[in-house]
Structure 1
Amino acid sequence: MNKEIKSFVTAVILLTLSLVIGLVGFVYIEDYTIGDAFYMTVITFSTVGFNEVNPLSENGRLFTSFYIIFNLGIFAYVVSVVTTYIFEGKLNSVFKNFISTKEVKKMKGHIIVCGYGRNGKKACEELYKNNRKFILVEFNEELLFAREEVKNYQVVIGDATHDETLCEAGIEKASALITTLPNDAANVFITLTAKELNPNLTIISRASQEQSEKKLLRAGASKVIMPDAVGGTHMAQLIIKPYVIEFLELLTGEGSNELKLEEVVFDVFKDEFRGKSVRELDVRNRTGVTVVGFRDPQHGFIFNPSPDTKILRGDVMIISGSEESIKKFKTFYT
């Protein structure tokens, strides 16, 4: 439960408690009817100053005095919460969170991204660009709502190191988790927890320190990424092999003339294309894409496969081409 809902629930509880105390007090001390006691409770709580139903006894005046003092803080708190909901758009925020929670519960096979720092932001952008279902988990609510692009994401507000937060993000039905927190210990804890909740989960974790890599792998991470090391290597390669890096940037969508790499598993091919060789598929002439690699369970990755290589069960074909040619490939072959 986030802060807005907690504050609203607290205000309702305090308001209900105050009304009950007022009703019981006026009925018991002044022997009022329920209707008269309710009227007296409301005008006392709201401090509007209407006349009493009947003149109060000495005990009644004493009770009313303490009741007014008791309600001053409650009234101020309730008014502040209601004002926040109405004039600062919190009611709309809570409604969106409610709708988002319902959508999250329906999701299956999605990806969970923990943390919306520099790495988490990039991960979300890439997943969104490739139309992958994902849920962003972030503790800092102010950070989220300061970013315009977050409005397009499914968000769970909470601490990813807590079991209930991961469960709220649908960890049991997720296919993968990316944890990008700057604290290596937190990433280890999230990895351990996530793997316990979903043993089949693919986990990609960030690490800042080299010694954290082994700990994350032992905790259950599938891959560990060290952004600082990757960034330094990339910078050096720009000097050593500038054209290779430029070509790789084209493949990753960072260049000006964007190319794409795509993986196509055996199961998505139409029946008439399964078991066919690269030559028989003739993908380049038909669609314009190039088969750059294969991955089969026995031999692993095969770069630049021969024309006689066949697509068999368990294989993954890796293709490269423009977005248009890849769409054409998918339409024709899958």
Structure 2
Amino acid sequence: MSLLKKIKKFLNWSSFAKPEINLNTELYEQLRPFRLPLILVVLMMMVGATGYVLIDNFSLIDAIYQAGMTFTTVGFTEVAPISPAGRLFTITFILLGFCVFTFSIGLLIEVLKKGALVSIIKERRMLYKVARLKNHFVICYHNLYTIELSAQFRENHIPFVVIDPREDLPEIAEKYKYPYYIVAQPHTKTALLKTHLSSAKGLITLSSNIADNIALIATVRLYEKEIDRKRPYFIMTNSDNDDDTERLKKLGANSVVSPSKLVAQRLSAMSVRPDMENLLEQFLYKKDSPIDIEEISVPDYSWIRFKRLKETNLRNITNSDVVGIRDVNNKFIPMPRGDTLIGTGTKLLVIGTAESIRLTKRVVKSKQKPEEFKYV
């Protein structure tokens, strides 16, 4: 195996990605009206060639050539002298050809006027583009949240597909720069196949109707079991009250965001501590911020498991700070002391630069303390 093939296999790349569902049946259905014109064209060519062979003793190739020029009304020249009977046959053949040509053009215009054929061809092309995506997010339903979220995803180079049943989605996608979109009901099996959910990282459902969000969460979790996915999908949704939030989490949502609650919390924080909010806006909410904060899970095989925080020397090793610890019971310890024990299922809230946080992840997820840091 060549080096390039090994790299492609390692990165799970494929030179030609096929969608999980094709539109060949729908495409053939739209092309069915063209069968009769094609049959008529073939019959006209056969009749014309046969007529020239029988009437004027043309060779087969000359007869086909003469029939083709006559049928298409090109009329460059006669390949051989044509008798009066042949000329009458030619006139009749031209009239019949004109009728077939007119009928075919009318049928073509009628099919294109309906727009279904063009729509299927465009959707088929989109499905092949979506099939190339890996670890993308499927965003269900277009609304104000989708517009803002898609802008953030584009800035951070996170691949995503927007799916919505509205027929004007192509125009919306062009306006708001959705690179990939599917027109379909999100909770259907066909929609899951069209969005290439099997290769996706997760799904975000942003419907204002909680019933739609419930149906999508249930559908995705069932699909997850159906394809025997090893890593569960990360599902996010929105709600307007605490009861709905609790219900959606029980049904399988990993994260439920309440926009009204977030806005209220942000406004409250800004009114009480405007300087702190300006600081967070400057350093944490921007894409190119020099400071970042992230929660890192400690795996069972990590070398820091069952060690005191001060024993890990993470501050000296990675130049980042642990500002919070969440234990397996979801109890959060802010600003933990050095003698805090890192147990099973612990999550560390780490603050630092993007580079220092990446290094912290690597150190925490190592089975043994890295060699270069053993003497720190």
Is the TM-score greater than 0.5?
Answer: yes
Deviations 1:144-182 (A, max 9, x none): 23445x45xxx3423224321222323345453111245
Q: Do the aligned partners of 2:323 and 2:349 also contact (CA within 8 Å) in 1?
A: yes
* 1:165 counterpart letter in structure 2: A
Q: Which residue of 2 aligns with 1:136?
A: 161
* 1:111 and 1:175 in contact (8 A); partners too: yes
- 1:46-103 deviation per Cα after TM superposition (whole angstroms, max 9, x unaligned): xx5234996448986775454233212245478999xxx9xxxxx9x88973652332
The alpha carbon displacement at 1:321 in A equals 1.5
1:22 aligned residue? 41
Are 2:49 and 2:67, in contact at CA under 8 Å, matched by a contact in 1?
A: no
Question: 2:130: which partner in 1?
Answer: 101
Q: Which amino acid aligns with 1:191?
A: I
From 177, 192, 213, the equivalent of 1:166 is: 192
The answer for the alignment partner of 2:333 in structure 1 is 302
Task: State the AA in 2 paired with 1:137.
Answer: V
In structure 1, distance between residues paired with 2:248 and 2:65: 61
- Specify the code of the residue in structure 2 equivalent to 1:162: T
Q: Quick one: which amino acid aligns to residue 302 of structure 1?
A: I
Deviation of 1:244 (Å): 4.4
Q: What corresponds to 1:111 in structure 2?
A: 137
Contact 1:207 1:225 in 2 (8 A): yes
Instruction: Give distance in 2, aligned partners of 1:206 and 1:77.
Output: 45
Q: Which one has a larger percent helix, Structure 1 or Structure 2? A: 1
Q: CA deviation at 1:239?
A: 1.5
> Which residues of structure 2 form unaligned runs of 5+?
1-18, 54-59, 226-231, 366-376
Q: Which residue identity does 1:100 align to in structure 2? A: K
Distance 1:303 1:164, change over 3 A: same
Change in Cα spacing, 1:297 to 1:97, as seen in structure 2 (3 Å) is: same
Task: Give 1:291 deviation, angstroms.
Answer: 0.5
Structure 1 counterpart SS, 2:326: strand
Which position in structure 1 is the counterpart of 2:103?
70
CA distance in 2, matches of 1:282, 1:168: 48
Tell me which amino acid in the other structure corresponds to 2:336. Answer: P
Kindly indicate whether the alpha-carbon contact (under 8 Å) linking 2:49 and 2:66 is maintained by their aligned counterparts in 1.
no
Instruction: Please state how far the C-alpha of 1:18 moved relative to its aligned partner.
Output: 1.9
Amino acid at match of 1:135: F
SS in 1 for 2:131: helix
Change (3 A) 1:95 1:218: closer
Distance in 2 between residues matched to 1:8 and 1:111, nearest whole Å: 28
CA shift in 2, pair 1:272/1:218, >3 Å? closer
Question: How far 1:308 moved relative to its partner?
Answer: 2.0
Provide the rounded CA distance (Å) in 1 between the counterparts of 2:303 and 2:214: 46
**Per-residue deviation at 1:289?**
1.4
1:264 aligned to 271, 296, 301, which one?
296
Residue range with higher mean Cα deviation, 297-306 or 284-293: 297-306
In the TM superposition, what are the counterparts of 1:103-252 in structure 2 within 5 Å? 103-104=132-133, 107=134, 110-127=136-153, 134-139=159-164, 140-147=169-176, 150-151=178-179, 155-159=180-184, 160-198=186-224, 200-207=232-239, 216=248, 220-249=252-281, 252=284
CA 1:63 to 1:214, structure 2 compared with 1: closer, same or farther past 3 Å? farther
Q: Secondary structure at the match of 1:314?
A: coil
Tell me, yes or no, if the aligned pair for 2:182 and 2:195 is still in contact at 8 Å: no
Deviation of 1:325 (Å): 2.9
Does the 8 Å CA contact 2:182/2:194 hold for their aligned counterparts?
Answer: no
d(CA) in 2 for partners of 1:309 and 1:227? 35
Deviations 1:269-328 (A, max 9, x none): 8x5444432101222233331101222223533222221223344222110122243244
- Say which SS state the counterpart of residue 224 (structure 1) adopts: strand
CA 332–298 in structure 1, closer or farther in 2 if over 3 Å, else same = closer
Shift of 1:8: 7.8
How far apart, CA to CA, are the structure 2 residues paired with 1:220 and 1:135? Answer: 21
Deviation at 1:14, TM superposition (A): 4.8
Does the C-alpha gap of structure 1 residues 214 and 257 become closer, same or farther in structure 2, counting only changes over 3 Å?
Answer: closer
Give the partner amino acid of 2:332: F
Larger radius of gyration: 2
CA gap of 1:178–1:285, structure 2 versus 1, over 3 A, is same
Task: Evaluate the alpha carbon distance shift between residue 262 and residue 96 of structure 1 in structure 2; reply closer, same or farther with a 3 A threshold.
Answer: farther
SS at match of 2:132: helix
Aligned position for 1:292: 323
* Counterpart code for 1:71: S
Q: Counterparts of 2:110 and 2:65 in 1: how far apart (Å)?
A: 21
**Structure 1 unaligned runs (5+)?**
86-90
